[in-house]
Amino acid sequence: MPVIKLHDKYFKPFLSHAEIQTAIAAMAQKIAADYKDETPIFIGVLNGSFMFVADFLKQYQHPCEVSFVKLSSYQGLTSTGIVETLLDLPENIEGRSVIILEDIIDTGRTLKELVHLFTNTNVKEFKIATLFYKAEIYNGEYRIDYVGIEIPNKFIVGYGLDYNELGRNLKEVYQLSQKHMINLVIFGKPGAGKGTQAEFLKDKYNLKHISTGDVFRYNIKNNTELGALAKSYMDKGDLVPDEVTIKMLQDEVEKNPDASGFIFDGFPRTTAQAEALDAFLATKSIKINATIALEANDEVLIQRLLERGKLNGRTDDQDENKIRNRFDEYNLKTAPLKDFYEGQGKFHSVNGIGAIDEITQRLAKVIEEL
């Protein structure tokens, strides 16, 4: 099984045809033990399950019927979270044992829609069988009765599963071959040039720059569910809980599956937030590779901010006392974070004074040594 390319992505071998057939035969044997004395209706979920259903029926040597429903929730590498019913249930299921044949169950969104489809039917029994099962991200809302192969949370194609409609005809299963991701946390006092450098780094290394401030503004401006929730705390003068901020960052990460990594700017600001960020990234099988602090002399930064204040009109960039207070707050909050990341061997300090391209070269040197 060689590495293959579908559209713009490379996929490496994961499961052979023989391994898949062995799992299907075992599933058919288990289900037959439960239903060989009646005639169950197997319902395949299109498009992904067509190969699985065909091979399963060849292994199931007892009377049965088969039908299909069609649902859709995937675009590219990620689930849209919106599940559409494109083909309705068969009409002859009342009083019958129904067994759903799913190609893959991951988050459980499609499964939830399937359960809803059967809510108002009078079936004798309703069970769920899946060939592939991502246990680590399944929400656990419904019981899964028969599992072929439990797999890690990796994007897979082949044997009916696709990447933007390619790969369904492969008789083996391949998983996405991820290039090494670079995930950075960038620190710096006001005026240190974090935003400027993040723009250069994201273009140079195909990284997604996630500024917490920008993400908050986007969600609040567009009145998203998370934006409304954050605003409800802010309107009361309360701090927005870390879990709300993490969920916003999670949405940003999941919206950018093609990025070669992420630059987190403005988060974390506390050790608890750093721990929460690590925990979230671990669910994606990724991690922070480095935290980089742009260091600069306070007096240089004060002059830089005062000049900036003349141009942008920001009052907090025009008052030296306010600037020094912001520096004190930064020092107070960043000190524990420095200890946290130094403990992981991930803290790097970079001189933030000099020409912009010189600073970019210093940052690039750190990144390329990772």
Residues 188 and 141 in one domain: no
- Two tokens, residue 292: 């980089």
Please indicate whether residue 362 is annotated as part of the active site.
no
**DSSP codes, 226-240:** HHHHHHHHHHTTPPP
Per-residue model confidence (pLDDT) at position 151: 96
DSSP letter at 62 equals S
* Active-site annotation holder among 168, 208, 231, 308: 308
184 DSSP β-pair partners: 263, 290
Q: Which of 33-42, 274-283, 305-314 has the lowest mean pLDDT?
A: 305-314
Residue ranges of E strands in 172-286: 173-176, 184-188, 208-211, 262-265
Question: What is the DSSP-derived secondary structure letter of residue 140?
Answer: -
60 and 95: one domain? yes
Q: Give 180's pLDDT tier (boundaries 50, 70, 90).
A: low
Catalytic residue chosen out of the listed positions 326, 338, 346, 362: 326
| Boundary (domain end) residue, out of 176, 195, 214 | 176
* 308 annotated active-site: yes
Q: Which amino acid is it at 248? A: M
Which range has highest mean pLDDT (24-38, 91-105, 205-219, 334-348)? 24-38
Asked whether residue 79 carries a pLDDT value surpassing 50, the answer given is no
Tokens standing for residue 230? 């954050």
109 carries an active-site annotation: no
Query: Does 167 share its domain with 193?
Result: no
| Residue finishing a domain among 158, 176, 194 | 176
Instruction: Based on the residue annotation, tell me whether 221 is a catalytic residue of this protein.
Output: no
What per-residue confidence (pLDDT) applies to 3?
A: 72
Query: How many separate domains does the chain show?
Result: 2
Instruction: Quote the mean pLDDT of the chain.
Output: 86
Q: Work out the average pLDDT over 80-85.
A: 47
Segment 181-192, tens digit of pLDDT: 789 999 888 888
CA dist 131 and 53 (Å) reads: 10
Residues 133 and 190 in one domain: no
CATH number, domain with residue 79: 3.40.50.2020
Given a cut of 90, is residue 101 above it in pLDDT?
Answer: yes
Pick the catalytic residue: 9, 194, 202, 304?
194
Contacts of 68 (CB under 8 A, 6+ apart): 43, 44, 45, 46, 49, 53, 87
Where among 130, 151, 176 does a domain terminate?
Answer: 176
98-102, 140-144, 238-242, range with greatest mean pLDDT? 98-102
Q: What is the pLDDT of residue 117?
A: 80
CATH label of the domain that carries residue 328: 3.40.50.300
> In the predicted model, is pLDDT for residue 295 greater than 70?
yes
Instruction: Give residue 325's domain range.
Output: 184-368
Most confident residue range from 127-136, 209-218, 324-333? 127-136
Distance separating alpha carbons of residues 1 and 229, to the nearest angstrom: 49
DSSP state of 41: E
Catalytic residue among 287, 314, 324, 365: 314
pLDDT digits (tens, 9 = 90+) for 251-294: 888 888 767 789 999 889 888 899 999 998 888 778 999 999 99
| β pairing state of 9-15 and 173-176 | antiparallel
Do 196 and 124 lie in one domain? The reply is no
pLDDT beyond 80 at 9: no
100, 237: one domain: no
Helices 225-235 and 212-221, interaxial angle, to 10°? 100
Shared domain check, 244 and 140: no
CA–CA gap between residue 36 and residue 116 (Å, rounded)? 27
| More confident position, 91 or 304 | 304
Q: Is 270 in the same domain as 126? A: no
Tell me the C-alpha distance between 200 and 103, whole Å: 42
Whether residue 140 sits in one domain with residue 11? yes
Residues 324 and 302 in one domain: yes
Annotated catalytic residue within 134, 202, 269, 304: 269
**96 labelled catalytic:** no
pLDDT digits (tens, 9 = 90+) for 198-246: 888 888 777 889 988 889 889 999 999 999 998 898 888 887 888 899 8
| Residue from 104, 156, 168, 99 nearest 130 by CA | 104
For residue 286, the cross-strand partners are none
Is the domain of 32 the same as that of 50?
A: yes
| Crossing angle of helices 320-343 and 298-312, rounded to 10° | 120
160, 62: one domain:
yes
Residue 61 reports pLDDT greater than 60: yes
